[in-house]
Structure 1
Amino acid sequence: MCIDRTNGEGCYSLLSLFLCLLPFLVKSQMLTSTTTLNVTGEMKPWHKLTFTFSGPATDEAATPSPFSYYRLTINLTHIGASGDRTYTVPGYFAADGNAANTRATGGNKWRCHFTPPHVGRWRYSVAFRRGKNIILDPTLPGKSAGYMDGYEGEFAVKPSDKTGKDGRAKGLLQYVGKRYLWLAGSEEYFLKIGTDSPENLLAYEDFDNTPNHLDLRKQYKSHTKDWRKGDPTWNGAKGKALIGAINYLASKGLNMMSFLTFNVQGDDGNVFPYTSEYSFRIDVSKTDQWEIALEHAAQKGIGLHVKTQETENEFIHGNKHFIVRRAIYYRELVARFGHHPQLVWNLGEETKMPTSLLLAAADSIRSVDPYDHPIDVHTYPDWKEKVYPALIRSDTSKV
């Protein structure tokens, strides 16, 4: 079994782990002989920790679907003086664990991301369950999927060394019942200064499986010069232009960027997290590449305003399969990107969805989002009175 504490370049045995007094306690008897755990990331507040397990081998197109038949979650409990609090973090199928670079569609890697909000000791347990459409309800017990199911461990989080604009220094962006959102780490109100264009930011030629409908796919070539040595790329030297564009925005002092994650049938039609526009199977390599760019933005102090749909595709998931497909969509977004501290979920751009469906969508996101990120919605100017007052009167304070 291997545990990599920081950068993916080392592998520690349990013996060396204890001899070196690393702050990670492993109960290896809980893992099966065919399962390994690899943990990467800095163990500091608001830094991404990634738990990668070896589990059942499958594929994006497999039957049963790895996106609905298996449910991976980690329950992480902070052992603090003010009482324990548990965060339930959804996981996802990660193909070969390096799909951003290999373009793999299959493999046996399963992954969870967690950004601990507090220093101190953390205890965690893993649930890996299976069953038809088990992702629909986090409370469904299902059956054990074996492998890492039941695995437990502990780790310690030390104080952060990040300062300045780095998002990891500022902490979670929260709605606290006031006019402005609040940064829990730096304890200051957040005044949004960012871009709302291009809304098809992710329609980028260097992302896998991104079409060029209406010749609207982006290149960002003018920003290749803004890429710096040490900045991320993927699949060789891809991504430099978009990463450079993010550097440019950060250099101008912007702290938020807005973008769509799904605009099939919309103005652009080139952005979707699936293997094709209507497959409703997650494209693992493409979403991994999205994460590289979004993580870079977050570290540069740029928050993420995630618009989950356009008005043209509000019901694209179909009537018969709407609930299942929407549950998969929201869970996958949260599992793959919800660990970013400064993030806002937007239920839809120019939406005309009825209040009941907007609230149902918000509840679906909240049911799997351990950080309770702010949720908002956008509509047409002449629809404001039809959408917003009903939400304000509803039994919610966060939409």
Structure 2
Amino acid sequence: MRESAAEPHLVADEAAVRPRTVLMVLVGVHAINDFYVTVLPAFLPALADEFGLSYTDLGVLSFAFTLLTGVLSPVLGGEADRRGRRRWILVFGFVIGAVGFLGMAASPSFWLIVMLSLFCGLGGAAYHPQATAFIVSAYPDKRGRMLGIHGWGGSFGHFAAPAAVVLAVSVLNWRLTMVALAIPMVIAAATLQWRLREIPAAPAVRLRGAFNKPLLMLAMSFGAVAMVGMSFINFSVKMLVDKVWDTSDAGVILTVILLVGVVAQPLGGLAFDRAGGRTVLVIAAMGTTLFVGLFALTGGALSLVALGGISFCTFSLFPVSMAMASRLAPPTQTGAGIGVIFGVSGLMTAVAKPAVGILGDITGDIRVALAWLLPLALVAVVLASRLSPDARYVPAAVTK
């Protein structure tokens, strides 16, 4: 049924008096959404075996899987702000993601899988800008803490994915596992449609109004850390399998390592409220640098500890970057501001994965390729230190 012009305001008021409902729904749906962020690494060994893939091929697939998340996050976030269709875009994202997994499951060739994986990236572009807008609208004065709680759901999805998928692949096969993965996405779409209510639109805003220098600096700072963290996560299962680990054991190990995100995200959000975003970003970037160095200089259990530390630093910044972006973007363009963060950082991480894959093939050792990410971690420290301690959006008219 089509909504009348008055309805968005009415349902927005209804949502505003039930912030816990908004938070609980989005924590649960976040678990489903972020399950798919770390689901691909668990498929890589099976795909490499079936299609005879190199690290470069796997990097290209990872690039395609996340490409549209980076390209379209700002666009979808901006359109949702302007048209007041945040819930609709959330629902669309999960439905199109399910289509992507079903298509890949039926694909007869690797390159068709690469093309169909773009649908998964398109689905991924829909979630975080809109979810953040709902949470900030419900909790304007506790955004760091509530985005950290929202991160619990995402962390649960992150850490559950590797073990769940490698075990499912061992029992079913990778194709049937991809079919099964479409089911939770459809459930998430139905839940969002049923339980969320729209928040007001801002018809006068345009996407370019969300772009400003502090926001872009924040996106590059977060993106530099994310390039390191997500590259390690992306290749970790295949790296362990190449070191003669059993695939199921490698998936379980990655799951245990990603469990740190359950602690990292709420701690990151709490630290944002108490210490400020720049402080948390600088500490996380420095921690990433130290852990990459530990990984490069050690092996065995210590290198797994380093991988856990890198994951902790990366995931701690998700609520921090979203909370900072919600302050740096115009108040009516929270979705677009978060879209800029995930767009820029998404493109940066998408490009990093094939680059690391190519370097892995050149050196003959993916561990060496990952260790070469150390300079990038140092760049993240420099970028984070240049951020303003408590920057907020200031309308252009006020600055004159």
What is the TM-score when the length of structure 2 is the normalising length? 0.29
Answer 1 or 2: which has greater strand percent.
Answer: 1
Answer 1 or 2: which has greater helix percent.
Answer: 2
Structure with the bigger RCO (C-alpha within 8 Å, sep 6+) is 2
